């Protein structure tokens, strides 16, 4: 995978190519050789000097949405400088380019729309999907993130406005794992929207009709997947923010024959399992001691439970017993076998228990060691629930994983205060450190960015034909093992984001090893796999063109 696209430009065309443009950083020699003399101000500025302008302009913005627009504008004109800013200031930038700000950006996508990014495929394009994908100018695509916009974070159906999610995810592939931006393709499949507000919005960018479903929908997705295999045969397809009924169906349909995974199901599962592994280092318990109570039985919750069950089975527990360690509450109460309203993905987790919607009685009966919030409903972890968890656990594990921040089941401050500082806490979106009774707690953020970029890099380097669950188990263990004792003592259950490239490199190595061990790799195994992985990672520094 080359570090730069093979196309070459000069003059004004070069300045309008974000993958090649360096702006005022073009040297005197480059300006002469590339017909840039006079097209730029006379002073040559270094990348570091350009960064000063970027940071000053960004930090003067009054809102996170304005900062998002500013960063996307930078990405549109100079991707190298954009990724330098992200990588050097990841803890500051990630909440802007991804959760929680990306949720608001998707809601306002029609209002803030400036330049298109990626490929839009609509229901009107049936029969022409391959021709549309062929319009993409960069042919060495290695990672595609695709959404149909029906379940954007915890915000629901945002239709074509959901393009902010693939764009943001692929930015993290580059920033966190070094996948070159020229190898990344964001795709939105627009089949309409059931969001009445968007249908009435004159600035909405998508099809203004209700969602198509059934055979027509399935045929369009089939056509897309087949076209990708033909045009970009080495590409990994990541399904993102599809509604539950389609997410599980598409994953099960393609996972055994296509290089694909669903991040909402598998990536979330791996980062949550890693958090559980890390919590065990704090509580002194073992995985086989755990009893997990899930709030929400959708993609995230059942995905986490599925991977936890695989981990328990790997430790010698019979699968039937492992399933009894994962109980679910949905909007209608406890997920039990006697209910007649359960959909396919919930049936596998139904327990042989009496139906009830009384959460405190469920906690009394099941005596969970951990609460896993994947409900998308803020405030679900009430004071009485958190205090009850503290009664039965010395160190209750509280994961409020719903995104964005406004949808979290509880805040970090609530978790620490209502458990007397005893909670082992993680959230899906970031919370600031909490001072409680003289002690500062650093909340863990169960950000999928710890998992999917490294897994993707491992798949790309090995050329793995498939993305099996074994890769996500390995990623979860690797992420937990990367946490230092000092970080644990500070209350962290995930490493700081400043270490994310190191973590992604480790996960890529573990993922690639799985591909070679399972006979899935299509690239011969090199003598020094770690060195090959590091060499494949894009470093956002300017290269000379002369």
- How far apart (Å, rounded) are the C-alpha atoms in residues 6 and 298? 43
Rg (CA), the chain: 23
- How far apart (Å, rounded) are the C-alpha atoms in residues 514 and 469? 10
If you count them, how many residues does the chain have? 546
CA 384-386-388 angle, to 5 degrees, is: 65
DSSP 497: G
Nearest to 149 by CA among 138, 136, 158, 140: 158
DSSP 271: H
Q: Pairing state of beta strands 326-330 and 333-334?
A: antiparallel
- How far apart (Å, rounded) are the C-alpha atoms in residues 97 and 100? 8
- Token pair recorded at residue 202: 């004159």
What secondary structure does DSSP assign to 98-153, as a single string?
STTHHHHHHHTHHHH--S--SEEEEGGGTT-HHHHHTT-S-----EEEEE-SSS-T
398 neighbors 370 (Cβ within 8 angstroms): yes
CA distances from 273 to 27, 173, 320, 493 (A): 49, 21, 19, 11
Handedness of CA 472, 475, 476, 477 (dihedral sign): positive
Q: Which element (helix H / strand E) includes 426?
A: strand 424-427
- Token pair recorded at residue 206: 């998508």
Residues whose CB falls within 8 Å of the CB of residue 19, separated by 6 or more in sequence, listed in order: 4, 5, 79, 80, 181, 182
Looking at beta carbons, which pairs linking 42-48 to residues 24 or more positions away fall under 8 Å? 47/22, 47/80, 47/81, 47/84, 47/541, 47/542
159 neighbors 472 (Cβ within 8 angstroms): no
- Catalytic amino acids? 98, 169
């Amino acid at each position: 995978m080359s570090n730069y696209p093979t196309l070459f430009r000069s003059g004004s065309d070069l300045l309008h190519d974000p993958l090649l443009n360096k702006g005022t950083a073009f040297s005197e020699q480059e300006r002469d050789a590339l017909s840039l003399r006079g097209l730029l101000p006379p002073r040559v500025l270094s990348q570091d000097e350009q960064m000063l302008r970027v940071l000053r302009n960004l930090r003067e913005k009054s809102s996170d949405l304005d900062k998002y627009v500013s960063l996307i504008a930078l990405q549109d004109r100079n991707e190298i400088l954009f990724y330098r800013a992200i990588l050097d200031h990841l803890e500051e930038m990630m909440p802007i380019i991804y959760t929680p700000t990306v949720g608001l950006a998707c809601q306002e996508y029609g209002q803030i729309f400036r330049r298109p990014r990626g490929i839009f495929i609509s229901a009107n394009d049936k029969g022409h999907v391959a021709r549309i994908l062929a319009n993409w100018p960069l042919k060495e695509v290695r990672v595609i993130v695709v959404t149909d916009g029906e379940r954007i974070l915890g915000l629901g159906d945002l239709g074509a406005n959901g393009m902010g999610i693939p764009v943001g995810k692929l930015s993290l592939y580059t920033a966190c794992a070094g996948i070159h931006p020229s190898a990344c393709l964001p795709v939105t499949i627009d089949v309409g929207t059931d969001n009445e507000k968007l249908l009435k919005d004159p600035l909405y960018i998508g099809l203004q009709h209700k969602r198509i479903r059934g055979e027509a929908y399935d045929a369009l997705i089939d056509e897309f997947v087949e076209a990708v295999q033909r045009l970009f045969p080495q590409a990994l397809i990541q399904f993102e923010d599809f509604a539950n009924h389609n997410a599980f169906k598409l994953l099960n349909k393609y996972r055994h024959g296509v290089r694909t995974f669903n991040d909402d199901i598998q990536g979330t599962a791996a980062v949550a399992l890693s958090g559980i592994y890390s919590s065990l280092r704090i509580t002194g318990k073992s995985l086989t001691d755990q009893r997990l109570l899930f709030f929400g039985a959708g993609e995230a919750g059942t995905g986490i439970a599925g991977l936890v069950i695989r981990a328990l089975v790997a430790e010698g527990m019979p699968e039937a017993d492992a399933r009894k360690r994962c109980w679910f509450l949905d909007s209608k109460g406890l997920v039990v076998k006697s209910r007649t309203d359960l959909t396919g993905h919930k049936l596998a987790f139904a327990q042989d228990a009496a139906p009830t919607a009384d959460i405190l009685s469920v906690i009394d009966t099941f005596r969970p060691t951990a609460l896993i919030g994947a409900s998308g409903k803020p405030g679900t972890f009430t004071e009485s629930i958190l205090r009850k968890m503290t009664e039965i656990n010395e160190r209750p594990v509280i994961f409020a994983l719903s995104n964005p921040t406004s949808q979290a089941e509880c805040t970090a401050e609530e978790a620490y205060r209502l458990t007397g500082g005893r909670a082992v806490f993680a959230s899906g979106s970031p919370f600031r450190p909490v001072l409680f009774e003289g002690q500062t707690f650093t909340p863990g953020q169960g950000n999928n960015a710890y998992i999917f970029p490294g897994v993707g890099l491992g798949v790309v380097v090995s050329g793995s034909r498939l993305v099996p669950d074994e890769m996500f188990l390995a990623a979860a263990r690797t992420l937990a093992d990367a946490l230092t004792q000092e970080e644990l003592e500070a209350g962290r259950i995930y490493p700081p984001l400043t270490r994310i490239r190191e973590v992604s490199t480790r996960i890529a190595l573990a993922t690639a090893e799985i591909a070679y061990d399972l006979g899935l790799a299509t690239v011969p195994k090199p003598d020094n796999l770690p060195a090959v992985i590091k060499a494949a990672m894009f470093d956002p520094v300017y290269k000379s063109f002369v």
